[in-house]
């Protein structure tokens, strides 16, 4: 189906040429709108919205936000140049992490930035990262051997940041810096979410311990990035990596890009690179505890593909069941559970009128768990991704890395490392949740298990 041919599938949708106003979702409370519902049960609330229409209006105090609920229209939204990356989520990211990174830029600046960074993430660039990914995946699995409950939050975040930093900002120093980056990023992400959901500006300027911790971590993150950039410049080295691409990038007039842009770009890659991958690793560990049969199947596949030797990057494309386990985990537990855009002009989206300046959102969590798109939608079934069954999945019903010009540049990079980590762990250990573990989802900037502790039993 082409984007132009996308029309609303909901029976109540208009078919006439004049776009109409989307329906208001039920349950708005005077003054508050739907804010209470979103705070109390964001996942359930968003998952039910499609019953109300393909596009629905939500009220948050005086503000109207448009929610898109069908796979087809989320594709149309992501592919339409009339919608930009903007809105409260992005403004909050910009304020804290810097305004010149690729994740918050739009238009020609965004296009130029994507051209600069893309070579580091192309499919043919990924094999060069293989040795680091293999080593980190093996060390990660080895760290489970202590016999103590394994703290998945800290360790998953650590492996994600270490791989992103060691691959994309190559350098011997990265080992120690990667540890400091992990600590800073963990605190920054916790605090950023709080600042987004409770936008109580002045409160965050008070000299409270939590605010001090947050400010220290944010300052440390920026200082670390400055140090990494300065050391690379001083070394005169030009390894084939993202940092070299940024240091040699030119703006639209052929001049080198500014220091601030280089800095913000490094931050713009380390932050999603750590948080999204780390959180997905946590969900994969949770899946291995919850579905021992699938964990055994992963182990059997790894053994049949690699025999006695360690699993390597070159094996990844033959680990098809392992890959399907990763994809199915990402379907049911998408770490990026909500995405937002802003309309730059009045636009017709599937027959609905979206005014200029409107904020629009959609939830990959709701889309990827929708019973209209998936048979036995809540069942963990990696085989639904087998070639003969995958055709039944509607277009845009499974896009955990997004669609269109904002599609995640780290998609191939992430899939390779997630498959390697899952293979390395499942081959060596049977995982069980340890006492005190709580894997219920916690909604933050990403969707993550509340506190996952596992015990690793040797196979
Ligand atoms: C499981 C892993 C990951 C998931 C699920 C994920 C998901 C996403 C999604 C859904 C978007 C699109 C947002 C939108 O449409 O507005 C995105 C964008 C982005 N991701 Fe990822 N990501 C992952 C890993 C990574 C990694 C490893 C990196 C870098 C090292 C990265 C860097 C970025 C950047 C820079 C953007 C912004 C792109 C742009 O706006 O042009 N991501 N990611």
| pLDDT digits 0-9 by tens, 121-167 | 988 899 999 999 999 999 999 999 988 899 999 899 889 989 998 89
Backbone φ and ψ of 9, nearest 5°: -95, -15
Alpha carbon of 402 to ligand 1 centroid (Å): 8
State whether the beta carbon of 302 lies less than 6 angstroms from ligand 1.
no
Length of the chain in terms of residues written: 459
**Average pLDDT of the residues in 301-313:** 95
If we measure between CA atoms, which residue out of 113, 18, 24 comes closest to residue 65?
24
State whether the beta carbon of 101 lies less than 6 angstroms from ligand 1.
no
Per-residue pLDDT at 100? 82
Q: What is the average pLDDT value for the chain, to the nearest integer? A: 90
Sign of CA dihedral 220, 151, 330, 459: positive
If we measure between CA atoms, which residue out of 38, 12, 15, 34 comes closest to residue 23?
12
For residue 85, give the ligand 1 atom closest to its CA: 16
Q: Are 421 and 253 in contact (CB under 8 A)?
A: no
Q: Are 228 and 266 in contact (CB under 8 A)?
A: yes
Judge whether residue 10 has pLDDT over 60. no
Q: Are 418 and 281 in contact (CB under 8 A)?
A: yes
Q: Which strand (E) or helix (H) includes residue 294?
A: helix 292-306
Opening angle at CA 455, ends 449 and 458, nearest 5: 135
Per-residue pLDDT at 170? 85
Which positions ≥6 away from 194 have C-beta within 8 Å?
Answer: none
The residue written with tokens 């629009």 in the block is: 360
Question: Cα dist. 204→69, 98, 212, 222, 445 in Å?
Answer: 34, 18, 9, 19, 18
Q: What percentage of the chain exceeds 90 in pLDDT?
A: 68
- Sheet of 63-68, strands arranged across: 55-60, 63-68, 359-362, 339-343, 83-84
Alpha carbon of 24 to ligand 1 centroid (Å): 31
State whether the beta carbon of 217 lies less than 6 angstroms from ligand 1.
no
Q: Is 6 helix (H, G, I), strand (E, B) or coil?
A: coil
Entry pTM: 0.92
Per-residue pLDDT at 199? 67
State whether the beta carbon of 121 lies less than 6 angstroms from ligand 1.
no
Alpha carbon of 272 to ligand 1 centroid (Å): 6
Per-residue pLDDT at 4? 34
- DSSP for 440-458 reads EEEESSSEEEEE-EEEEEE
For 390-405, the three-class secondary structure string (H helix, E strand, C coil) is: HCCCCCCCCCCCCCHH
For residue 341, give the ligand 1 atom closest to its CA: 16
Please, which residues bridge with residue 350 across strands? Answer: none
Sign of CA dihedral 134, 140, 275, 396: positive
Opening angle at CA 423, ends 418 and 428, nearest 5: 135
Crossing angle, helix 174-197 and helix 88-97, to 10 degrees?
140
Judge whether residue 9 has pLDDT over 50. no
Tell me the best of 122, 126, 404, 410 to mutate to test the pocket of ligand 1, counting ligand atoms within 8 Å of each CB and taking the most: 410
Q: Which strand (E) or helix (H) includes residue 56?
A: strand 55-60
Residue 431: alpha-carbon gap to chain centroid = 25
Judge whether residue 2 has pLDDT over 70. no
Alpha carbon of 307 to ligand 1 centroid (Å): 34
State whether the beta carbon of 166 lies less than 6 angstroms from ligand 1.
no
Map out the domains of the chain as residue ranges.
Answer: 1-97+337-385
State whether the beta carbon of 336 lies less than 6 angstroms from ligand 1.
yes
State whether the beta carbon of 163 lies less than 6 angstroms from ligand 1.
no
1-97+337-385: CATH number: 1.10.630.10
Q: What is the pLDDT of residues 230-282, one digit of tens each?
A: 999 999 999 888 999 999 999 888 899 999 999 999 988 888 888 899 999 99
Tokens representing 29? Answer: 């409370």
Judge whether residue 445 has pLDDT over 60. yes
């Amino acid at each position: 189906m082409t984007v132009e041919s996308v029309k609303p599938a909901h029976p109540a949708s208009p078919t006439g040429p004049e776009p109409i106003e989307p329906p208001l979702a039920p349950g708005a409370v005077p003054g508050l709108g739907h804010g209470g519902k979103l705070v109390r049960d964001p996942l359930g609330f968003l998952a039910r919205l499609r019953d109300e229409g393909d596009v629905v209006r939500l009220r948050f105090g005086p503000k109207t936000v448009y929610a898109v609920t069908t796979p087809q229209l989320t594709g149309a939204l992501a592919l339409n140049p009339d919608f930009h990356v903007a809105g409260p989520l992005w403004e909050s990211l910009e304020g804290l992490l810097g305004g010149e990174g690729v994740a918050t830029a739009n238009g020609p600046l965004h296009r130029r930035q994507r051209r600069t960074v893309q070579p580091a993430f192309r499919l043919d660039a990924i094999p060069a990262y293989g040795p680091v990914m293999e080593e980190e995946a093996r060390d990660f699995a080895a760290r489970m051997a202590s016999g103590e409950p394994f703290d998945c939050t800290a360790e998953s975040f650590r492996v994600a940041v270490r791989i992103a930093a060691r691959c994309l900002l190559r350098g011997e120093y990265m080992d120690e810096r990667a540890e400091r980056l992990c600590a800073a990023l963990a605190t920054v992400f916790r605090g950023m979410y709080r600042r987004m959901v409770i936008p109580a500006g002045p409160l965050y300027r008070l000299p409270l311990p939590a605010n001090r911790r947050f400010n220290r971590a944010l300052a440390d993150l920026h200082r670390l990035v400055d140090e990494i950039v300065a050391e690379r410049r001083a070394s005169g080295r030009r390894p084939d990596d993202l940092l070299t691409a940024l240091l040699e990038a030119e703006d639209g007039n052929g001049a080198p890009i500014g220091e601030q842009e280089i800095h913000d770009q490094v931050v713009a890659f380390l932050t999603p690179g750590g948080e999204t991958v780390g959180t997905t690793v946590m969900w994969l560990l949770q899946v291995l505890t919850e579905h021992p049969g699938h964990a055994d199947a992963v182990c059997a596949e790894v053994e049949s593909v690699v025999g006695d030797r360690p699993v390597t990057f070159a094996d990844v494309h033959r680990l098809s069941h392992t890959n399907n386990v990763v994809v199915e985990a990402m379907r049911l537990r998408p770490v990026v559970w909500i995405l937002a855009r802003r309309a730059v002009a009045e636009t017709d989206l599937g027959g609905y009128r979206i005014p200029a300046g409107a904020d629009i959102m959609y939830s990959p969590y709701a889309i990827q768990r929708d019973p209209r798109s998936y048979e036995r939608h809540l069942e963990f079934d990696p085989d639904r991704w087998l070639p003969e069954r995958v055709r039944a999945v509607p277009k845009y019903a499974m896009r955990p890395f997004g669609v269109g010009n904002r599609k995640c540049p780290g998609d191939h990079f992430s899939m390779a490392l997630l498959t390697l980590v899952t293979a390395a762990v499942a081959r060596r250990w049977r995982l069980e949740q340890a006492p005190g573990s709580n894997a219920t989802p916690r909604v933050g900037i990403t969707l993550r298990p509340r506190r996952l502790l596992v015990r690793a039993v040797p196979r």
